[in-house]
Chain A
């Protein structure tokens, strides 16, 4: 079974530029998560989708971050414009069932550096 795929693996941009990350979850997984992991910290949830609907985006900085999950499969996370403090690893995760709390399966992450 293929794992969670993310691209790109690394991205370097200058502040005020835009960037987008892509995630393809494990086939059949209903729930998809985006996390931000700043160096030396634990992952922080940005947004949670169930199928193609948003369940929780309370910690998403909506003035600059946006995310979508079209057709309930792939997802993209966008930052526009980027700030220095957005430098972090952006992790995508998926889990199989909606009706209970399951473990999440994580992708390799995208390391973003904002100069």
Chain B
């Protein structure tokens, strides 16, 4: 069965520090998709990235970067030069392409960026 683990419950950093949020997943499928979502204090989940299991290239988008490693079943998210506006709960999610496409979310990591 599919499972997502985010071992870091809460992280606090000071503004401008770099921070990495860990995500480890389990799946029975050979084709699957991984996602990161941000949930700011307002509550609405915001999509950040989608990667499929065949594309292990790392991705960078501004201050955000993602490191996908199939060998360790990890999909980690790094924020460079963090800002107070990055404070939120971040969720990693997994969807198996061949088993109904339903999403399984991790428990989330609460990031607090202090000024």
On A, residues with C-beta under 8 Å from B are: 33, 40-45, 48, 55-56, 89, 91, 93, 100-109
Contact = CB atoms under 8 A, between A and B. Distances in A.
A56 B46 CA distance: 23
Contacts, number: 54
Nearest to A33: B103
A106 B100 contact: no
B43 A42 contact: no
Interface stretch (B12-20, B60-68, B72-80, B105-113): B105-113
B102 A42 contact: no
A107 B35 CA distance: 17
Contact of B45 (A43, A44, A100): A43
A113 B108 CA distance: 22
Interface of B: 4, 33, 35, 37, 42-47, 50, 52, 91, 93, 95, 97, 100-108
Contact of A44 (B37, B43, B46, B105): B105
A94 B34 CA distance: 17
Interface of B is mostly: strand
A56 B102 contact: yes
Contact of B43 (A89, A100, A104): A89
A48 B102 contact: yes
A92 to B, nearest CB: 11
Contacts of B46: 106
A15 to B, nearest CB: 24
A104 B103 contact: yes
B33 A91 contact: no
24 contacts: A40-B107, A41-B108, A42-B105, A43-B105, A45-B103, A55-B100, A55-B101, A55-B102, A56-B102, A89-B43, A101-B33, A101-B52, A101-B95, A101-B97, A103-B35, A104-B103, A105-B47, A106-B37, A106-B44, A106-B46, A107-B44, A108-B42, A108-B43, A109-B43
